[in-house]
Amino acid sequence: MIEFRQASNDSDAVCYRIDRVIAQGRTPWQSYLFFENEANGVCIAIDGDIQSCQRDEALYHEALVHPAMLFHPHPETVLIMGGGEGATAREVLRHGCVKRCVMVDIDGEFVEACKKYAPTWSDGAFDDPRLELLTMDINDYIRQTDLRFDVVIGDLVDVADWDGFLASLYSDDFYTALKKVLAPGAVVATQAGQLSLANQKSHKRVREGVGGAFAHLLSYGVYVPSFYSLWGYVLASDTPLDGSVSYVASAIAPRAKERGERVLEAIGAEGFVGLFALPNLLGKGW
């Protein structure tokens, strides 16, 4: 039996049985592996870390996208940083109010591999005329663009080395530079690593970086079964977030329905409320 083994923290690891290798390779930026697993369907790994699995990727991507989109009263322009699988773009474009979505991913080879080997992730998003896909460094894009965005979504890989290039994309310097492309009232969301007692370093570092640039900050999370973990995100804005959207499910559901019939399809309105109900043991002390 072939296994894919991934460290969860300094003392634990998770193993996934590889039933069939679909594709593997290395780009100038990273290594990738697509494989099938009976429990999780198609799985995508980058540099030895699982990025998402077919059976439950919607939980991760809906939690990443929809809080920022629903906290903003009428997002028309959206910037996606990373998001190579196309699932983040898929969820953004389910909001009917979106007129333009720019996706900037440095690794075009990986994006093409996702189109070929995991097409269900994007569900047609790459063919949507509202989507503009750019293969370039997000730092260069921020310096060059004249656009202003209502929502920015960071779907970048986790950081293992906090002294490297990727770590800079979670720094307060980066988010301060990002503010130059934000419209008034903009909301920013980024994935922010595990929310677990054994491994909170990444989440704390992301909070510190984002919090160094924005006045208002919220951590939230969703349990992703294939990650075997509660996964964390950070929401940020210079506009107060508390009260922007009622946390009552009955208030969330109409707004989600107004945006699009498949918004919150996997999580649901009640699940949306639960994203922000972190246990005291995990959600305190940052």
**Which of the 8 DSSP states describes residue 179?**
G
Mean pLDDT per 10-residue run, the chain (286 residues)?
A: 79 87 96 96 94 96 97 96 97 98 97 97 97 97 97 88 75 94 98 83 89 93 92 95 66 87 92 88 66
209, 171 contact by CB (below 8 A): yes
- The reported pLDDT for the residue numbered 178 is 97
Q: What is the set of active-site residues?
A: 155
For 95-123, what is each residue's pLDDT tens digit?
999 999 999 999 999 999 999 999 999 99
- The reported pLDDT for the residue numbered 5 is 86
167, 207 contact by CB (below 8 A): no
- The reported pLDDT for the residue numbered 286 is 60
- The reported pLDDT for the residue numbered 250 is 74
Measured CA to CA, the distance from residue 186 to residue 224 in angstroms comes to 27
φ, ψ of residue 55 in degrees (nearest 5): -70, -30
Domains of the chain with CATH codes: 3-53 (2.30.140.10), 57-283 (3.40.50.150)
- The reported pLDDT for the residue numbered 47 is 92
